[in-house]
Amino acid sequence: MATATAFTPQTFAKLSPHPFHLASLQQSHHPQAQAQPNSNNASSTPTRANGRAPHESRPISINTSSLSHAHGSSMVRIGDTSVICGVRGEILPATSIPQWRKPLNPAADVSSAEEVKEEGAREMRDYDLLVPNIELATGCSPSHLPGAPPSTLAQTLSTRVYSLLHTARVLDAEDLRIWYTPEEASAGVNGGDDAMRDVEGEGEELQLEPELRAYWTLYIDVLFVSLDGNAFDAAWAAVLAALRDTKLPKAWWDADREMVLCSRAKTNALRTSGLPVACTASVLTDREKDVEHDGTFAVMLVDPDREEEKLCDEYLTAVVDRSEGQTGLRGISKFGGRTQGSAEIRQLVTVAEKRWEEIAKVLSQ
């Protein structure tokens, strides 16, 4: 007697992955499932092949101060995606910057707070004071072997992180400036005289203005230990956590040596503005139907894993910040596809708000 042959779901997933994932999500649209909405059948709820709901994210864990040789570091794990980020500052003399111009001094110049922020954003962008680098050639996945040249994905991630660092204005340029005040030097020589001095032959008083001598340049290195999808969200969370953990040595300009000196004992914590959190979703569609004429089944999968990313051609990312109580939209990006419109983007923003609460809770622990 012949033995019946049965295939496990894992076998079907390997033989025909796209129909398998699509069938898992279309169970709620089955006529029997719609006829019995109150039944306890699990098929009434759309479930992804990995067991998660379409808008369900994987749990996230964040550890900071993981690297002793960096000024700030973090390790982020989202499901089976693990990322390590290290931040290290280096001194950039102002004399080494081509076409450098003196910035606005908040203490001396009569300028609005918005003008000072714009000037700081210009400095960080024009002088490249923030240098992120994403490294995927670590054997983190079968597609990224050790020693391989930078892939397109790695370069794209570096560009997106660089852009978001500037558009979200996470850092204050004042924390990266190294000032030298001549009046402090003259006060030490003259035995603590006032900073104001009389000009010879006149009764006017001259205030010696601070001079900007150097900047801190932050090199932000992100290393993927393992990659199971959603690389951007993991990389951005690691960068944000590492910057919040960064403590730069106290630096000052030594007029006698004409160079910047740093303290081994004293540090200044880097201040971050807000908490912009990224939430990415991929869109799984029925490839056998024409989008324009027949319509198509399309479902948004939040925090996709590696297998889901292989089957999707459309991706959306929303960056939100609720640190001030209200939702602030810091960025929206969309790649490929044409099934998702403004309604779906608003839905993703709502999901991103919940994701922000989860990450904010983890960072506060």
pLDDT in tens, 78-88: 999 999 999 99
Q: Which of 49-58, 183-192, 252-261 has the lowest mean pLDDT?
A: 183-192
Residue 30 lies in a domain: no
As a whole number, mean pLDDT of residues 97-112 equals 71
Structural domain span for residue 132: 60-194+206-273
Residue 281 lies in a domain: no
Rounded-to-integer distance, Cα 222 and Cα 131, Å: 11
Percentage of residues in the chain with pLDDT exceeding 90? 60
What pLDDT band is residue 24 in, cutting at 50, 70 and 90? confident
Residue 98 lies in a domain: yes
Q: Residue 192: what pLDDT?
A: 44
Residue 280 has pLDDT above 90, yes or no: yes
- Where is pLDDT greater, at 38 or 54? 54
Residue 85 lies in a domain: yes
Residue 150 lies in a domain: yes
Among candidates 256, 84, 87, which has minimal Cα distance to 170? 87
Residue 118 lies in a domain: yes
Rounded-to-integer distance, Cα 354 and Cα 357, Å: 5
Q: Residue 267: what pLDDT?
A: 95
Residue 307 lies in a domain: no
Here the tokens at position 179 are 């000032």
Q: Residue 208: what pLDDT?
A: 73
**Inter-residue contact 87 to 242 (CB < 8 Å):** yes
- Where is pLDDT greater, at 64 or 181? 64
Rounded-to-integer distance, Cα 281 and Cα 106, Å: 42
Q: Which of 11-15, 247-251, 320-324 has the lowest mean pLDDT?
A: 11-15
Residue identified by tokens 């994905």 is: 153
Residue 348 lies in a domain: no
**Inter-residue contact 218 to 244 (CB < 8 Å):** no
As a whole number, mean pLDDT of residues 152-170 equals 96
Q: What is the mean pLDDT of the chain?
A: 84
User: Domain tally for the chain?
Assistant: 1
- Where is pLDDT greater, at 144 or 43? 144
What pLDDT band is residue 296 in, cutting at 50, 70 and 90? low
Residue 146 has pLDDT above 80, yes or no: yes
Rounded-to-integer distance, Cα 179 and Cα 144, Å: 44
Torsion of CA 327, 63, 92, 213, to 10 degrees: 70
Query: Which strands, in side-by-side order, build the sheet including 277-285?
Result: 298-302, 277-285, 314-321, 328-335
| 73: CATH | 3.30.230.70
